[in-house]
Structures are given as C-alpha cells and as structure tokens.
C-alpha cells in the first residue's frame, strides 16, 4: 500500500523566529543539528561531504606530483605512501561522492514522490551523524599513520572502527531512502510512475543495503582480529586485501548508480516531453545495478580466453555477467536519454551538461575495467586500474555537480549561474579525461599501481604522469569553482521560482525553497509526469 | 505561485515499520551471509595435518582445546524459535485489537530474547578459547558477537513495541508486525550460524 506521511519531524521548522543575536544563532545551530527535516539532513550531507571532495582531489594532486619524478622528488615518506593511495580512494568514495549523492537523494526524493517527510527521519539523521563521526575518525587515523598498512596500531583500530561507523550511517540513510520510495509515494504513483531519480534511489539504495553490510562484515573481522591476536587477517597490511574490493570496480558502479538516474531525469526535462522509453530506462538502471554481484563475491571476475571453446565459454559467461551487464545498463540509460533528445527539439539547461558528461565518464571507466579483466591485457596490477577508478568516481563527482545545480534551486531558492555550472562541468570532465587517460596508456606500459617512486618503463613516463597530475589539478580547479559558484549562487543568485526548469515531477509543484512539510495538500498522481499533465492538459 | 495539483484523500495507515524492518533485515542477511562465507573460506583454506591417532588427515582449523557447549547452542536456537512464536502471537493479537494478549506476547518475546543472550554469553564463557588464540577464535567471537548485538537490538525493539502497545497503539499494528518480522529474520540468521559455526564447525 502506498500512503503519504501525515506529518513531518516535530523540530523541522525552517526558521527560529523572535530571537535575536547569539541566542538566535545558537538556536539556529541547534535546529540544524537536531533537525529531522530531510532537506536539512540532505543539505548537511552535501555541504559536509564537499570538504571531503576537496580533500580527496588535493590528495590526488599530491600523489600525481609524487609520481611525476619517480627518482628524486618525494613528498611522502616511502613507508606511508601506500596509505595515501588508499586515503585518496576512501575519501573520494566514502567521504565525498557517495555521501553527496545520498544527500541529494535524501533532500529531493521525498518531495519527488509527494511525501511530507522522509521515512525514518531520525534514522536518516542518525545516518548523517554516524557517517560524519566515522569519516572524521578515518581521517584522524590516516593523519596518525593508521590507514591500511599503517604503523600505529591504535590508529589502525580507529580506522577500522571509523569505517564501520560510516558504513552503519550510510546504510541507515539508504534504508530511509528505500522505504520512502516503497512506502511514501503519493496516491496514484505506482512504482512505474515514480520519478526516474526516485527509481534510481530505490535501486541504488537497495544495492547499498546489500553490499555495504558485506564490507561491514570484513571490517568487523579485521577489527576483532587486529585488536587482539592478529592471527587471521594479516594485521595492518591485510586490511586493504579485505576491503580493497569496495574501493575498486565493479563495486564503485554501485556508488554512482544515481548518476545514471540523474541523467535520465534531467534529459526528460530537457526534451520537454514524456519519456517514450521510460520502461527501458527503468530496466537500464536495474541492469546496471547487477554490479552488486561484485560486492557479493568480493573479487574480480577475469577472463582468460584460452583453451577449447567450452573453456572460453566457461570463462566468458561469468565475466560478461559481472563486467558487461553493468555497461549494458549504463549504455541503455545513455542511449534512451539521447534518443529522447534527438526525437525532440531539446531545450538545454545548465545541469544537463554535467549530468551527461558524468555518465560518459562513468561508462569510459566501466569499459576500461571490462578490458582490464581480460587476462591477456596484463594490466591488472598497473595504473590502468587507477584510471578506471578515476573515470568512475570523478564521473560521480561531476554527477554531484549536476544534482546540486539542478535541485539546488528547490533547496535554497536561488539559481546557480548557468555559465558557471556548464563551465565547471566541462572543466571537470576534461580534467577527468586528462587524469585518467594517460594512466590507461601507462598501464599498458606496465607502470605499477600504488607505487609512486622507483619505477621505470619504456616510453615518456614523466609525460604521462605530468598529464595525469595536470588532470587532477584541473578537476581541483573545477570543484573549487563549482563550490564558489554554488556559495554565491545560492546566497545571492537570482530567485529560482517554483519551477525554474519547466519540469515534470512533483518536487517542482511546491515553493522554492521547499517548506518544512513539503506540500500543503496531498496530491493525486495520474501519470509519471504529473506537472506535465497540468501544463498540457493531459496532452503531449 | 505553485502549481496546484488536485488534493488527495486522507492518508491511511501504512506499513512503514514493517517494510523498514524487511529492508534492514536484507542488510542483516548480507552481513551474516558475508561473515559465514569468509568463515567457510578460512575453513576450506586451513592447512591439513594428521589426526592425533595418526589414522587420517584432517583440517587444522578447530583449536584442540575448543569445547562447544552443544546443549546451550541448541537451546539458544530453540529459544529464538519460541521468540518468533511469541512475536507471531503478538501480531495475531494486534490484528484483533487485543491489547492484553499483544502486550504479554511482546514481553515474552523480549524475555526469550534475553534468554538467548544469556545462552550466548554462556557459550562465550564455556568455549575454552580466547579471541586472540587463533583465527577460529577471532572469527568465532566476531560472528557470535554480531549475533549477540543483533539479539540485543531485538530486545530493545521488543521494549519499544511493548511501550507502544501498552500505550494504547494496538490498533496500529505496524510496529508489532515489524517486531515479529525482526525476530523471524534473527532466527533465520541464528539458524545459519548454528549450522555453520556450531554443527559443521
């Protein structure tokens, strides 16, 4: 059964009226810290994780500089350089992209489905603070030489505990999202009529609920073992062997599933028409979610392509299920979105540019991964894998830009400058290509992964590493530029109005910024595009 | 000016807590399943050695001095099954708006949960190995510790549902149904752990 919530969180009011000065500030801070309003929780996720995004890209830049001259130039000590490689990944995945995408979904999905609040609002709030405490603990652990392979035992324990805490938080947030889409949709909104982004939140949230606990299981074993005898899991050096699958492909696809849904949603608005291939898009997002299988087996599925035909088939089928199905899903979403645009006269809006580019970047990373798991390419232990990761996760970062610029006006009431959104989106995409592409080449030249010094191979190795470093720098500039544009746009930009994009879904039927309870009246939905129904009188 | 959509009917009672429990249960299944999979991998990869009588080759997995109190493990499983029956009784009573039966059944569910916890701690005390002694020890205490934590959450869930029912919210059976579902999920998890850790070892 589907129903609308009857009330929002008790302390979810948007302002603290009638107070002045420091007391008012304190009350406002307390209001934000204890709020169960999903829009505030989502915005806190986005704002807090943006610091993680900057930190992770800065680490990427520093690692690039470290590798530019593999012989003499050294920023980091040899014995802890490995920690910085995992720090880059942990921070980018769990400190930035995943929490920001979840934050956007928490802020937007309940309004999209016509609910007055998110399901288990306190659970979502707990998720936020648990994630924050966890990621701060992880960062402190890294600073104290406690990342995977670190030499400080107490700090390694802190790292494992922090990871566990942030995973608990993200699972709570994902459960809230999934239940909201399953249980809080407006009357008449069947799952087939749910907005594409809400569908993505359902599929992506479910994928997180299935895979993050598996990571949690590894962390619990490692924590218990590391804290005690260190007889089973390899101590501090074993940690990365047990959790590494969660920081590489195909598990990273699970973290950026929302990017696909975001493109599909925004493309529909850009086309100005109903999505004729809506069912195909829903299926495409679902097919891409088969990447959870990577989390289930927690290792790579490779293909040797040798021996008899039956040997080849025995290798090919599982390889294709694990590596090609997610690509098929992503390509389906991209293809259906492009089909929609070529059959109409599209009205390009700024957030569409980063939304499209993010999916292109993710798909490049997916193809790279499929290639690297063919044994005869011999790139499995090279920087080729790092290039895949860069494409997928920086693609996720560009998707965050798209999401913030598209739904930001509904959350903050003001628009970001069009040129800034498009400019930073294109810049981040170029930076992603520049950061990743040289490593695809260097991977074939056997530049080892996770090594910054003392390697050498035939070819212009300084040039590849220089280009990749330049790419990271460009991504950093793009992220900084986007944050600056968001800060100025959402504070001083032009007023957004309730429906700045001439969109189709319910979130644009409520004022901008959305009020505490989202809607004054519970709406009845008769199609997947309820606003388009009203605007066109049911035609189109 | 916002676009005015037609107003809908008054909301009807939903099953949010039950659905939330089911989704949370999927996460529990993923975690316990993953822990058991790693357990099985360690057991399969364990080196082999001659048995003490020299007659056969055995896996060097189970520590020599481990003592699994099988009576306690079996009783723990049965106790959780009984907790499920109590949870189902509470759901049955809640559907009939029978507050007294619902509250008794939920209280009994929590009580049996506490009994299962007691059995778990008895097993910890009697097992005869330490957490730092071997891979088996570390993994045994990790997986059974997680199970104990999940049972503790179940007991807290029972207390919350009990307060809800004695507070008069028996007509809204969502929490009671979700509560029963949680104990079913927990019993399924315990059954898997019992089979892999206590029976197959």
Distance from the Cα of B17 to chain A's closest Cα (Å) equals 8
Q: Please report which confidence band the pLDDT of residue A9 belongs to, taking 50, 70 and 90 as the band edges.
A: very low
A183–B26 CB contact, under 8 Å: no
Residue A294 has pLDDT above 60, yes or no: yes
Say if B59 falls within a structural domain.
yes
Predicted local confidence at residue A538, as pLDDT: 58
Are the Cβ atoms of B139 and A232 closer than 8 angstroms? yes
**CA pair distance A436, A391, nearest whole angstrom:** 6
Residue B12: per-residue pLDDT: 58
Residue in A120, A228, A534 nearest the CB of B138:
A228
Is B44 an interface residue toward A (CB < 8 Å)? no
Are B146 and A220 in contact (CB < 8 Å)? yes
Under 8 Å between Cβ of A274 and A196:
no
CA distance A329 to A283: 8
User: If you count them, how many residues does chain B have?
Assistant: 201
Query: What are B95-111's pLDDT values in tens digits?
Result: 888 889 999 999 999 99
B16, B132, B139: residue with CB nearest A179: B16
Let me know if residue B124 belongs to a domain.
Answer: yes
Whether B56 maps to a domain, the answer reads: yes
**What's residue A72's pLDDT?**
66
Residue of B nearest to A173 (CA): B24
Whole-number pLDDT of residue B135: 86
Q: What is the mean pLDDT of residues A327-333?
A: 93
A225 touches B: beta carbon within 8 Å: yes
**Separation CA A434–CA A65 (nearest Å):** 14
According to the model, what pLDDT value does residue A161 have? 95
Question: What tens digit of pLDDT does each residue of A236-246 get?
Answer: 888 888 898 88
Q: How many Å lie between the alpha carbon of A504 and the closest alpha carbon of chain B?
A: 11
Residues of chain A positioned with their CB less than 8 A from the CB of B28: 213
pLDDT of residue A18: 47
**Domain-located, residue B97:** yes
| Residue A70: predicted pLDDT | 64
The residue in chain A having the minimum alpha-carbon distance to the alpha carbon of residue B5 is A523
CA distance B162 to A161: 32
Residues in B 81-100 with any Cβ partner in A closer than 8 A: none
- pLDDT (tens digit per residue) in A420-462: 999 999 999 999 999 999 999 999 988 888 888 778 888 788 8
On whether the CB atoms of residues A169 and A132 are closer than 8 A, the answer is yes
**Opening angle at CA B146, ends B144 and B150, nearest 5:** 115
pLDDT at residue B1, rounded to an integer:
45
Q: Is B47 on the interface with A (CB under 8 A)?
A: no
Tell me phi and psi for residue A414, to 5 degrees: -130, 160
Only one residue has tokens 């035992």, namely A153
Partner-chain residue, chosen from A1, A217, A508, that has the shortest CB–CB distance to B35: A217
- % of chain B with per-residue pLDDT over 90: 59
Q: Which fold has domain A41-536?
A: Cytochrome C Oxidase; Chain A (1.20.210)
Question: Closest approach of chain A CAs to the CA of B45, in angstroms?
Answer: 12
> Given B9, B16, B138, which is nearest A119 (Cβ)?
B16
Exposed, middle or buried: residue A477 (CB in 10 Å: 0-12, 13-18, 19+)? middle
Q: Is B7 a member of any domain?
A: no
Under the banding of pLDDT at 50, 70 and 90, the label for residue A276 is: confident
Residue B154 covered by a domain: yes
Whole-number pLDDT of residue A519: 85
Residue A54: both structure tokens together:
């900057």
Give the contacts of A336 (CB within 8 A, at least 6 positions apart): A264, A275, A277, A280, A281, A284
Which domain does B31 fall in, by range? 20-199
Pick the range with the lowest mean pLDDT from A46-60, A263-277, B110-124: A263-277
User: pLDDT per residue over A363-389, tens digit each?
Assistant: 999 999 999 988 888 888 899 999 999
Q: What is the pTM of this model?
A: 0.91
For residue A219, the model assigns a pLDDT of 94
- Asked if B20 and A510 come within 8 Å (Cβ–Cβ), the reply is no
A217 touching B (Cβ < 8 Å): yes
- What average pLDDT does this structure show over A151-177? 94
Task: Select the residue of B3, B10, B142 nearest A220 (Cβ to Cβ).
Answer: B142
Q: What is the DSSP letter of A185?
A: P
Question: Within 13 Å of residue A68, how many CA atoms lie on the same side as its CB?
Answer: 16
* Of the listed ranges A102-116, A383-397, B169-183, the one predicted with least confidence: B169-183
Angle at A165 between CA B18 and CA B36, to 5 degrees: 70
Q: Which residue of A has its CA nearest to B136?
A: A232
Give CA angle at A263 (A261, A265), nearest 5°: 70
Question: What does the pLDDT read at residue B13?
Answer: 55
Dump pLDDT digits (tens) for A26-37: 888 888 888 989
| Residue contact A534–B3, C-beta within 8 A | yes
Nearest to A359 by CA among A289, A263, A252: A263
Helices (H), chain B: 16-45, 70-95, 99-126, 135-166, 174-193
State how far the Cα of A443 lies from the Cα of A446, in Å rounded to an integer: 5
Which of B69, B70, B22 lies closest to B188, judged by CA? Answer: B22
Average model confidence (pLDDT) across chain A: 88
Q: Which of A213, A224, A511 sits opposite B30 (nearest CB)?
A: A213
Any CB–CB contact under 8 A between A534 and chain B?
Answer: yes
The candidate with the shortest Cα–Cα distance to B76, out of B161, B158, B150, is B150
Name beta bridge partners: A382. A448
- Quick: pLDDT tens for A460-479: 888 899 999 999 999 999 99
- Digits of tens for pLDDT over chain B (201 positions)? 456 666 666 555 578 899 999 999 999 999 999 999 999 998 888 887 777 777 777 777 888 788 888 899 999 999 999 999 999 999 999 988 888 999 999 999 999 999 999 999 999 998 888 888 888 889 999 999 999 999 999 999 999 999 988 888 776 788 899 999 999 999 999 999 999 999 888
In this complex, is the C-beta atom of A252 within 8 Å of any C-beta atom belonging to chain B?
A: no
Per the omega criterion (within 30 degrees of 0), is the bond before A96 cis?
A: no
Return the residue matching tokens 């569908």: A199
> Shortest CA distance to A261 belongs to which of A101, A393, A110, A430?
A101
Interface contacts A/B by beta carbons within 8 Å: 146
Give the residue-averaged pLDDT of A241-257: 90
Tell me the percentage of chain A whose pLDDT exceeds 90. 55
The answer to whether A176 touches A121, Cβ cutoff 8 Å, is yes
Structural domain count, chain B: 1
């Amino acid at each position: 059964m589907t129903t609308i919530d009857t009330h929002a969180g008790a302390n979810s009011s948007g302002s603290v009226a009638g107070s002045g000065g420091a007391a008012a500030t304190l009350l406002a801070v307390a209001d934000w810290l204890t709020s169960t309003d999903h829009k505030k929780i989502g915005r806190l996720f986005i704002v807090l994780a943006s610091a993680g995004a900057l930190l992770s890209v800065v680490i990427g830049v520093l690692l690039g500089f470290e590798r530019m001259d593999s012989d003499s130039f050294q920023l980091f000590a040899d014995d802890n350089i490995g920690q910085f490689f995992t720090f880059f990944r942990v921070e980018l995945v769990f400190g930035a992209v995943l929490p920001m995408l979840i934050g956007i979904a928490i802020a937007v999905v309940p309004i999209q489905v016509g609910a007055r609040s998110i399901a288990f609002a306190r659970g979502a709030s707990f998720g936020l603070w648990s994630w924050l405490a966890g990621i701060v603990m992880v960062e402190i652990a890294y600073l104290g030489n406690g990342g995977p392979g670190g030499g400080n035992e107490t700090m390694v324990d802190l790292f494992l505990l922090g990871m566990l805490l942030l995973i608990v938080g993200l699972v709570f947030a994902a459960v809230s999202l999934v239940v909201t889409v399953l249980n809080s949709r407006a009357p008449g909104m069947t799952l087939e009529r749910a907005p594409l982004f809400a569908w993505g939140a359902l599929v992506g949230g479910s994928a997180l609920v299935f895979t993050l606990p598996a990571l949690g299981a590894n962390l619990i074993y490692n924590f218990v073992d590391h804290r005690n005898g260190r007889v089973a899991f390899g101590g501090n050096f074993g940690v990365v062997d047990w959790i590494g699958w969660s920081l590489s492909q195909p598990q990273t696809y699970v973290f950026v599933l929302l990017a696909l849904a975001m493109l599909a949603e925004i493309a529909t608005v850009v086309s100005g028409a109903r999505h004729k291939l809506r069912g195909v898009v829903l299926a495409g997002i679902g097919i891409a979610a088969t990447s959870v299988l990577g989390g289930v087996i927690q290792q790579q599925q490779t293909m040797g392509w040798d021996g008899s035909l039956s040997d080849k088939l025995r290798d090919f089928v599982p390889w294709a299920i694990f590596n090609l199905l997610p690509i098929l899903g992503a390509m389906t979403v991209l293809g259906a979105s492009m089909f929609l645009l070529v059959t109409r006269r599209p009205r390009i809006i700024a957030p569409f540019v980063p939304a499209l580019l993010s999916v292109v970047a993710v798909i490049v990373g997916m193809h790279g991964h499929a290639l690297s798991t063919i044994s005869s390419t011999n790139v499995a232990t090279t920087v080729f894998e790092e290039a895949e990761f860069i494409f997928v996760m920086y693609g996720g970062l560009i998707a965050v830009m798209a999401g913030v610029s598209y739904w930001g006006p509904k959350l903050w009431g003001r628009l970001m400058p069009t040129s800034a959104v498009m400019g930073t989106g294109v810049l981040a995409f170029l930076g992603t290509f520049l950061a990743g592409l040289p490593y695809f080449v260097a991977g074939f030249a056997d530049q080892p992964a996770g090594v910054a010094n003392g390697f050498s191979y035939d070819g212009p190795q300084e040039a590849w590493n220089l280009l990749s470093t330049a790419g990271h720098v460009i991504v950093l500039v793009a992220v900084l530029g986007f944050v600056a544009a968001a800060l100025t746009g959402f504070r001083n930009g032009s007023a957004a109005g309730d429906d700045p994009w001439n969109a189709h879904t319910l979130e644009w039927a409520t004022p901008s910024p959305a009020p505490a309870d989202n809607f004054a009246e519970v709406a009845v939905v008769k199609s997947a595009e309820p606003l388009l129904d009203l605007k066109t009188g049911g035609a189109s | 000016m916002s676009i005015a959509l037609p107003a809908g009917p008054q909301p009807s009672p939903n099953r949010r807590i039950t659905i939330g429990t089911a989704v949370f249960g999927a996460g529990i299944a993923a975690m316990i399943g993953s822990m058991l999979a790693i357990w099985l991998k360690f057991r399969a990869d364990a080196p082999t050695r001659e048995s003490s009588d020299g007659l056969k080759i055995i896996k060097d997995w189970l520590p020599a001095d481990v003592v699994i109190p099988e009576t306690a493990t079996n009783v723990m499983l049965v106790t959780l099954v009984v907790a499920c029956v109590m949870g189902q009784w509470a759901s049955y009573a809640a559907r009939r708006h029978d507050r007294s039966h619902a509250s008794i059944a939920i209280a009994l569910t929590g009580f049996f949960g506490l009994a299962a916890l007691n059995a778990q701690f008895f097993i910890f005390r009697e097992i005869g190995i330490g957490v730092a002694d071997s891979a088996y020890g570390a993994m045994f205490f990790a997986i059974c510790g997680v199970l104990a934590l999940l049972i503790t959450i179940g007991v807290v869930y029972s207390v919350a549902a009990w307060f809800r029912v004695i507070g008069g919210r028996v007509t809204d059976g969502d929490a009671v149904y979700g509560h029963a579902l949680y104990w079913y999920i927990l019993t399924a998890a315990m059954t898997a752990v019992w089979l892999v850790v206590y029976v197959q070892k």
